[in-house]
Structure 1
Amino acid sequence: MTCEHKRSMGIISSYSPSSPLSRLLCYTVLTILILAGIIALILYLVYHPSKPHFVVSGVAVYQLTNTNTTSPVTSTAITASLQFTLLSRNPNRRSSILYDRLSSYVTYKNQAITQPAPLPVLFLEKQGEVAMSPVMGGSAPLPVSADVAAGLMGDEAYGVVGLRLVVIGRMRYKSGPFRSGWYSIYVRCDVLIALRKGCSGQVPLLGAPECAVDV
């Protein structure tokens, strides 16, 4: 074997993966990755936020009646004008919440009876609470099925009407120096109200369970 060949073999072996320098480099990179993972896990556990809470605290009904429409064809519709008082609470001690592009509407038996109403941008401090009172609906009736129209007449005659308030939009968290991306939010609030035909104004709530929140 020539001297040149021996020298070349020595150079190659000095940079082989089994050399002390290579092993030290691998251990250093592995240690950094493990520490970064531990730090990320700690930050996640410390700052990971919980979903906001929503509950309906009041309902006012200004109009909720069946209407027959004749354009373009004869059909049934519901004319509704309602105001919900909705409380949103931030349960997090380390994260504030920003709501954006919110809108709300009301459904009866899974059919919308109001058009979506826009809500303002809202900011919730840590463990803070904010109230929203959107007025939804108006003079324009929304077409519904005959079964839904008949169901509303029967519920008003009985004196108990079940409604659902829906709020959609987006939200983000702020935890110290960290900001999350935007999340879609979908809130569903099922309420029972004491209502008879011809009544107007604030109506009694027969039950106001916490709303379902999907983020």
Structure 2
Amino acid sequence: MAVKECGSHGSSNSPRLLNFLRRYIIWLIILIVVTIIGSVLAWITLHTPKPRFILQDATVFSFNVSGDPPNLLTSSIQTTLISRNDKTGIYYDRLDVYASYQDQQITLPTSIPAVYQGHEEVNVWSPFIGGRSVPIARTNGLSLVQEQSRGAVKVLVHIDGKIRWKVGPLITRTSHLFVKCPALISFGNSAAGAIVSGRGVKYTLVTVCSVSV
């Protein structure tokens, strides 16, 4: 008895195999594209020039250490910060400004509204930093009183934030921004500053800040 061969099994499996290969190729292409985009974003994050910051000036309205022993600081300072970005766009998602003295934060943080900075743009911010009766270490309080009596106090103005870079249509992941701007305030030298609004003294600093991301 002759056996009749049927070729329908091979033909029915061919569309399934083609669909499997088609899906495999599509997913492989997607994986390659995602890998390339991820590599480009990582390269941008590592090699894009950091923004530059300058502390232009500081206007001191109050700076008083109190307590016995001195461990409270009441201050009000308006700073002028200049940010410059040359080659890429930057999203400043969060920026907090505050002052420190000998590694201790001595003012409350002030937030700067989120902003986008295009390439070759310059942003100028003038936030107030300070606080009433902010607790400080006793040793720092004594040191502040001594330095202020000698005529000059050196503090650091910090910017702590979150940023993203934009290069063409690509936007990187969020990176942490740390900025430190030294400020030497000459309390004992009236000629070092200019009277502002009858009660504040404006000190021109033009200090280049250190930036790390």
Residues 27-57 of structure 1: per-residue CA shift (max 9 Å, x gap):
xxxxxx9xx98xx67x958x94210001100
Counterparts of 1:184-203 in structure 2 under 5 Å?
Answer: 184-196=176-188, 200-203=199-202
Measured after TM superposition, the shift of residue 121 of structure 1 is 0.8
Residues 58-94 of structure 1: per-residue CA shift (max 9 Å, x gap):
101111111217xxxx7621111111100011021xx
**Which deviates more, 53-62 or 145-154?**
145-154
| Contiguous gaps of at least 5 residues in structure 2 | 1-31
* Residue aligned with 1:196, SS: coil
Alignment counterpart, residue 127 of structure 1, candidates 120, 129, 133: 120
* Residue aligned with 1:107, SS: strand
Measured after TM superposition, the shift of residue 203 of structure 1 is 3.1
Residues 176-214 of structure 1: per-residue CA shift (max 9 Å, x gap):
111111111111111112113999523324x54311111
Within the alignment, does 1:111 sit opposite 2:110 as a pair? no
Alignment counterpart, residue 102 of structure 1, candidates 75, 79, 95: 95
- The question of whether the paired residues in 2 share the 8 Å contact of 1:66 and 1:77 is answered with yes
Number of matched pairs: 170
Measured after TM superposition, the shift of residue 129 of structure 1 is 0.7
**1:90 paired residue number:** 85
The 2-side partners of 1:44 and 1:58 are apart by 35
Per the normalisation by structure 2, the TM-score is 0.70
Per the normalisation by structure 1, the TM-score is 0.70
Within the alignment, does 1:204 sit opposite 2:203 as a pair? yes
- The question of whether the paired residues in 1 share the 8 Å contact of 2:96 and 2:159 is answered with yes
The 1-side partners of 2:201 and 2:80 are apart by 11
Within the alignment, does 1:68 sit opposite 2:60 as a pair? no
* Residue aligned with 1:204, SS: strand
**1:172 paired residue number:** 164
The 2-side partners of 1:44 and 1:186 are apart by 20
The 1-side partners of 2:100 and 2:166 are apart by 32
* Residue aligned with 1:141, SS: strand
The 1-side partners of 2:137 and 2:43 are apart by 48
Q: CA RMSD in A?
A: 2.8
- The question of whether the paired residues in 2 share the 8 Å contact of 1:104 and 1:116 is answered with yes
Give the percent of matched residue pairs that are identical in Structure 1 and Structure 2. Answer: 27
Alignment counterpart, residue 77 of structure 1, candidates 48, 59, 72: 72
- The question of whether the paired residues in 2 share the 8 Å contact of 1:107 and 1:163 is answered with yes
| Contiguous gaps of at least 5 residues in structure 1 | 1-32
Measured after TM superposition, the shift of residue 146 of structure 1 is 2.2
Alignment counterpart, residue 149 of structure 1, candidates 112, 132, 141: 141
- The question of whether the paired residues in 2 share the 8 Å contact of 1:192 and 1:208 is answered with no
Q: 1:44 to 1:169 in 2, by over 3 A?
A: closer
Residues 132-171 of structure 1: per-residue CA shift (max 9 Å, x gap):
1111123x21111222112112222221110111111100
